[in-house]
Structure 1
Amino acid sequence: MDHLNRSELGKLLKRRRIELGFKQKELADEFLSPSTISNIELGKRKVSMDTIAYYCKKLSWKLEDIPKYLSEGEKKEEERFEELKLVLQSIENDVDFGNTK
């Protein structure tokens, strides 16, 4: 977990929350306020790792599995980037050969 900084972790957890369709206040409870969730997602250092682990659990993730989820997300981003490059090449070819619609 040491190699993953809190900012990256926060972005990953925010993306997970949004994918699940939750608002911060919907995940808040007596142990986790909306402002604490915000602090986690912003990568603030004042949130304990126990609290972050609790938040992960609410998102159906385990804190120790975060590096795996991060690498899966990076792989998806790389695949999407490759798809976009192909689309761009196709558009460039259409423009080069006058195949505009």
Structure 2
Amino acid sequence: MITRFLTDVRLKFNPFSPRSKSARLFLSLIPPSARVDGMKIESKMLPRHSKEPASLALKFKDGKEMDLELDKMRITEVMERVDRHSRLLARKEELLGN
């Protein structure tokens, strides 16, 4: 997963719910050096009996914001959406020569 174009990650999930598997896996895919590189990571753990769905809010370097409901998505779908926009930003960066 391409994470270098992410600036802000906000994650809300119930760690005990099986529907939050995508949220837990997404957190594990973020590299340990992400905070040092300037990414703001905010995770909110919901109580065990919470019925609130898992959600992920992302902000990219170009200002685009993406809100995803993780309880309805598999991790492959989440990665596909994030990588699609990240590849677009990488292509723009390459064309501009930055």
**TM-score, normalised relative to structure 2:** 0.36
Decide which structure has greater helix share: 1
**TM-score, normalised relative to structure 1:** 0.35
